[in-house]
A = this chain, B = another copy of it.
Amino acid sequence: MFETQFTVDFGVKYPIIQGGMMWVSKKELVSAVSNAGALGILTALTFETPDTLANEIEETRKLTDKPFGVNLTFLPTLKPVDYDAYVDVVVQTGIKVVETAGRNPEKYMDKLKGAGVKVIHKCTSVRHAKKAQEIGCDYVSIDGFECAGHPGEDDVTSLILIPRASDELEIPVIASGGFGDGRGLVAALSLGAVAVNMGTRFMMTKEAPIHDKVKEVLMVAKETDTILIERSLRNTMRAWRNELTIKIAEMEKEGATLNELAPLLSGKRSFENIMKGKPEQALVACGEVVGLINDVPTVEEVVNNIISQAKSVVERNYSLIKD
């Protein structure tokens, strides 16, 4: 094993957390991650109602007896979301780890902390990380510019953000954005993090419940095959560069409004296109680390390879010190 404050606090074998991914972080993937010795995270909003989340938690527990958590992403949505009810499910089902993202979880802290839930807040700047600490979060997971999904608007990379956050905060830092192998894990630990968060790498596993066509295109994608969209909306997202995202970026350049962009940004539309085997017409969140990922192994293989590579790297670094 690899012992850090993260493995101790969460009772897992390895300092690796699987980041919450819409549509992907379901029982198959989450249980596989936890069974492999890392920390799996279900995404609450992937489940249409609080009841279906409660059901997924129960189903996940049938597949693993190891700890796993739930992601709660607070975003402005067209249809209002009953976040209180999702938080209640977390508390009532005895989940002990919540990853929050989007707006900070201040409103729900009392309820969560009262139930002994550890809160990991995901954010993209030192300023937001300090705010998370101030409102009582236990951890921050800090996302660099290279990450999949929403890197924020500052464009500061993980190499800078992780040590900056570690210097500024008392609470521990999880490194997120750009991590996919054992070299990255050791880099993250060296920069001051106590664990790495990985999304794209876990999406590229046999257990991830997404269409094979997506895994096939990402397997050959290079580090230059991602694109930033929605910057004009100040909701920047890093996605796979394809027909759809290139079109969105061009429309933004020409000054398209949210109303004009909205149909192309629909998650439902993306999901349907993937189901029809048309990944070129889907929004696929994917980080620059996709350039380092060229296979689709099992989750257990991913985790074991990372740990064994990390051990070799640590031992090799140690051997470089002379005198």
Q: Which residues of chain A have a CB within 8 Å of any CB of chain B?
A: 1-4, 125-126, 144-146, 154-161, 163-164, 167, 178-179, 181, 183-184, 186-192, 222-224, 288-289, 291-292, 311, 313-315, 317-318, 320-323
Residues in chain B near residue A179, CB distance under 8 A: 159
Interface hub of A3, A190, A315, A317 (most chain B Cβ within 10 A)? A190
A224 to chain B, nearest CB (A): 5
- Interface pair B3/A223, CB less than 8 Å apart: no
Interface hub of A164, A184, A187, A222 (most chain B Cβ within 10 A)? A187
Closest 10 CB pairs of A and B: A187-B187, A159-B178, A186-B190, A157-B157, A146-B157, A160-B288, A187-B190, A314-B317, A318-B318, A160-B223
- In the bound complex, how far is the Cα of B156 from the Cα of A291, in angstroms? 10
Q: Which of B192, B289, B320 contacts A3 (CB 8 A)?
A: B320
A110 to chain B, nearest CB (A): 32
- Interface pair B158/A317, CB less than 8 Å apart: no
- Interface pair B321/A160, CB less than 8 Å apart: no
- In the bound complex, how far is the Cα of B292 from the Cα of A145, in angstroms? 17
Q: Which of B164, B178, B187 contacts A223 (CB 8 A)?
A: B164
- In the bound complex, how far is the Cα of B146 from the Cα of A126, in angstroms? 16
Residues in chain B near residue A159, CB distance under 8 A: 144, 146, 157-159, 178-179, 184, 187, 288-289
- In the bound complex, how far is the Cα of B225 from the Cα of A106, in angstroms? 28
Please name the residue on chain B nearest to A288 by beta carbon: B160
Given contacts A145-B145, A190-B317, contact A183 B156 (CB under 8 A): no
For this complex, 24 residue pairs linking A to B, each with C-beta atoms less than 8 Å apart, are A1-B321, A1-B322, A3-B320, A126-B223, A144-B159, A145-B157, A156-B291, A157-B178, A157-B288, A158-B159, A159-B289, A160-B288, A161-B223, A163-B181, A164-B223, A183-B190, A183-B191, A186-B186, A187-B188, A189-B317, A190-B313, A314-B320, A314-B321, A315-B321
